[in-house]
Amino acid sequence: MDLRNLFTVAHFIKTRCQHGLTAGVSKDKSYVFFEVDVRDAWTKTQLCFLDKVEPSATVADIKNLIHKRYPRLYPSRQALKLNPDGRALRDDEILEDLPVGTTATLLCQDLGPQLGWAMVFLAESIGPLLIYLLFFFRLPYIYGLEYGYTISHYKVVKLACICHTFHYTKKLLETIFLYHFSQGTLSLQTMTLNCLYYCGLTAWQAYYINHPLYTTPSYGYLQWMCAMAVFLICEIGSFSTHLVLNRIKCKESRPAGIPYPTRNPFTWLFFFVSCPNYTYEVGACVSFAVMTQCLPAALASFLGFVQMIIWARVKHRTYIQQFPNYPELRTAIIPLLL
């Protein structure tokens, strides 16, 4: 055999070996692909079967694949679970890290139509703003035709309307220009219930504050002027803390940094609490109740305080988990106590 034939045979053997190795790698790679059986969380009927899913695929990737099969089920509308009573999987969880085999069964729950948080905040602010004004200007059939389109002659009633309008107008402007929102959403049903809750509380307060038989606060001018001063301090403090929070970027729903006080004295509450914006919000609600000396306003303040304690504790816990060097002096919402 001459050298030319020898080189030809060697080249043929080398080519075949490389082809065999490549085929082996493909075979191994295809072997570790996952198969995902997606079923309805309630009926357990199969929605789709996803084959050759990469092991490094995230839950968000799987949601996008489901969305391609079912355009109605956009990713934020889906909740994927491993079992009916389990928690919903996070979008950043990786398929191969889940306690499943190469053939995984995921339960898909339809969360219903979803709305972004910006729309939720706008809806929850516009409703109370408009409803209070309906009672302030005493539309007919609220208090009787003889009081239609009249306004209370008490200064405290007019001041309460100004404060309430200012509060919700400020929230609307902050929502549009200041707030940072995550990619999370809220279901249309939950948002509707929230709007009914806030609008109902507002109507309850406004009915009594603007009623023709309303009685002014017991301590008169001194009481409602002091309460108004506290209200304004809390509103300025709330705006100041939102400016601080606006400078901190968020990674998904988690803060990317620790908020610290600035030279603005209204931000110094950050030395003691994790959520001074909630502290100021509670202060504004309580001062409004004192200003009007209205029992529904006091009850609304109490309910708001309970809800904000829950939100503040969740955020406080998130800060502690996210940042090992988080200031130990801080509490959730009430300095040194809660």
| 159 vs 192: CA distance, rounded Å | 30
More confident of the two residues 77 and 8: 77
Domain boundary assignment for the chain = 34-112, 115-322
- Give the model confidence (pLDDT) of 16-62 as tens digits: 444 443 333 344 444 578 999 999 999 999 999 998 899 899 999 99
Q: How far is CA 126 from the centre of its chain?
A: 18
Q: How far is CA 56 from the centre of its chain?
A: 28
pLDDT in the model for residue 100: 87
Question: Would you say 19 and 86 are in contact if contact means Cβ atoms under 8 Å apart?
Answer: no
- Give the model confidence (pLDDT) of 155-200 as tens digits: 999 999 999 999 999 999 999 998 877 667 889 999 999 999 999 9
pTM of the model: 0.82
Q: What is the mean pLDDT of residues 214-224?
A: 94
> H or E stretch including 314?
helix 295-322
CATH number of 34-112: 3.10.20.90
pLDDT in the model for residue 249: 74
| 305 vs 309: CA distance, rounded Å | 6
What token pair was written down for 292?
A: 């009007």
> Residue 335 has what DSSP assignment?
T
pLDDT in the model for residue 256: 78
- Give the model confidence (pLDDT) of 230-282 as tens digits: 999 999 999 999 999 998 877 656 777 899 999 999 999 999 999 999 999 99
Q: How far is CA 228 from the centre of its chain?
A: 30
